Amino acid sequence: MIKTSTTISNKLGLHARASAKLTKLAGSFTCDVWMSRGDRRVNAKSIMGVMMLAAGMGTQVEIETDGAQ
């Protein structure tokens, strides 16, 4: 398992277009990809899940992967 933290730097946060790009990238990997903010953890391959994080600019999120690299 790989786990890292990052801060959202896009001035619009994880809006629809940014979320779509992120989920497309996450979907290109065979491993599980998860994002979390606070106590909410979502599948990063789900655009609705990523948007439900409501991560605006400056928000710190954690990204976790598990499985084959």
The domains found in the chain, sorted by start residue, are 2-66 (3.30.1340.10)
Q: How far apart are CA 33 and CA 43, in angstroms?
A: 6
Average pLDDT estimate for 19-41 = 95
Q: Is the pLDDT of residue 68 over 90?
A: no
Sign of the C-alpha dihedral computed for residues 4, 29, 55 and 14 taken in this order: positive
Q: Which of 2, 6, 15, 67 is catalytic?
A: 15
pLDDT confidence tier of residue 59, bands split at 50, 70 and 90: very high
How much is the pTM?
A: 0.85
So what's the pLDDT on residue 39? Answer: 93
- Averaged pLDDT, 50-65: 94
CB-based contact 35:42 (threshold 8 Å)? yes
pLDDT, residue 67, reads 87
pLDDT higher than threshold 80 for residue 31: yes
Active site residue 15: yes
pLDDT at position 63, please?
96
